[in-house]
Amino acid sequence: MFQFTHNNFNVLDLGRSLKFYDEALGLREVRRLEQPDFTLVYLSDGKTPHELELTWLKGRTKPYDLGENEFHLAFTTDDYEAAHAKHKAMGCICYENPGMGIYFISDPDGYWLEILPAK
């Protein structure tokens, strides 16, 4: 039997990413592993056991190649309209599908995050 634990995104600027995930989605750091060449930071929504692991490779300056970026993480929100207004003000909405009632935001490294209304 298996269960989800976390997903990983590699980031260029750890501070910028931590600020984005806190402001945009309310994700908070729950633990950190510092190594000479890299840092791992685990973020949590405080409600589910699933975490987002941010990996910062120290010294990397080249943006990550996300290919066609055909992957994403999805989040639900109890107040879809307020979330949409907040993300619009932040300038991070990268795609909207009003017919499906969803939209996507993009983090500082170009990863897409789907926003869904809670059912």
Mind telling me the catalytic residues? Answer: 114
Query: Token match 């990983």: residue?
Result: 8
Looking at residue 37, the DSSP 8-state letter turns out to be S
Asked if 24 and 90 count as a contact pair (C-beta separation under 8 A), the reply is: yes
- Residues 52-62 as b/e (b if ≥16 CB within 10 A, e otherwise) read bbbebeeeeee
Residue 48 token pair? 């589910």
